[in-house]
Amino acid sequence: MNFWDQRFAEPGFKYGTEANAFLREAALRLPAASVVLVPGDGEGRNGVWLAGQGHAVTSVDNSSVGLQKAQTLAAEKGVTLTTTFVDLADWSPAPASVDAVVLIYVHLPGSIRLRAHRALAQGLKPGGWLILEAFHPQQLHHSSGGPRDVDMLYTPEQLAAEFADLLQPVLAWQGETTLSEGPGHQGLAHVTRWLGQRI
Ligand SMILES: C[S@@+](CC[C@H](N)C(=O)[O-])C[C@H]1O[C@@H](n2cnc3c(N)ncnc32)[C@H](O)[C@@H]1O
């Protein structure tokens, strides 16, 4: 059992069963019946919501416990979700194969992040959307969730540099918000929100 398997093996849903608020807003940009990839979807709250909006969703994660719970949630909500076990450290989607990539609180260490992020962006079709929310380094001053390691926290500037030449930035924001996402994300938080479109 890895770190996330252990957390997701606890009863309930660590980040709740409702989709992230920024995703709900950003997803309004997606054409009907989009092909959506949700890396690091964990227990599936975001992938299941996107499937409920009529999109064709694949959630990939390296927590088998999380993926199993995602399937349970999908069944409860009566939607179809494809789930695949992958390690983002060495996995790439087929180039130009999806309309959107959704990264919500997927905090990869610096050692694997650049390759993984660029491979995910290359998976987008031209005009496709990358939607990302993650904790900012200023989150270290808050106790509402997230890794306690600055190497795993993201600034909008870092993301723009990582996605350079692949994505046109459309929204780049960092600031405070109040999270209420299950027991894992509760209270005042400092987050980065980033939206880019495949060139
Ligand atoms: C903080 S949880 C967020 C889960 C979900 N995105 C949400 O917002 O509810 C981080 C997720 O990223 C996944 N993850 C972290 N590193 C990964 C890797 N190298 N490959 C695949 N998934 C990974 C974990 O298994 C976990 O499901």
Predicted confidence (pLDDT) at residue 130 exceeds the cutoff of 90? yes
Rounded distance between C-alpha atoms, residue 162 and residue 180, angstroms: 29
| Whether residue 69 has its Cβ less than 6 Å from ligand 1 | no
Asked whether the beta carbons of 100 and 129 are under 8 A apart, the reply is yes
Domain-embedded: residue 190? no
pLDDT at 1: 86
Atom of ligand 1 nearest to the CA of 108: 16
Residue 93 lies in a domain: yes
In a domain, 2, yes or no: no
Question: 146 CB less than 6 Å from ligand 1?
Answer: no
Kindly calculate the radius of gyration of the chain based on its CA atoms and give it in whole angstroms: 15
Q: With DSSP H G I counted as helix, E B as strand and the rest as coil, what are the percentages for the chain, rounded to 5?
A: 35, 30, 35
Q: Which domain holds residue 163?
A: 19-25+33-132+152-172
Residue 165 lies inside a defined structural domain of this protein: yes
Torsion 63-58-23-19 (CA) sign: negative
Tell me, yes or no, whether 107 lies in a domain. yes
Answer yes or no: is the C-beta of 41 below 6 A from any ligand 1 atom.
yes
- Total structural domains within the chain: 1
Ligand 1 centroid from CA 5, angstroms: 10
The greatest distance separating any two alpha carbons of the chain, rounded to the nearest whole angstrom, comes to: 43
92 found inside a domain? yes
- How far apart CA 156 and CA 40 sit, in angstroms, is 20
Mean per-residue pLDDT, 149-168: 98
**Residue of 36, 57, 106, 108 to mutate, ligand 1, most atoms within 8 A of C-beta:** 106
Q: Identify the three-state secondary structure at position 199.
A: coil
pLDDT confidence bin for 147, thresholds 50/70/90 = very high
Question: Residue 168: inside a domain, yes or no?
Answer: yes
108 domain residue, yes or no: yes
CATH code assigned at 104: 3.40.50.150
Q: Inform me whether the pLDDT recorded for 169 exceeds 90.
A: yes
Calculate mean pLDDT across residues 15-41: 98
CA distances from 157 to 44, 124, 143, 187 (A): 28, 21, 24, 25
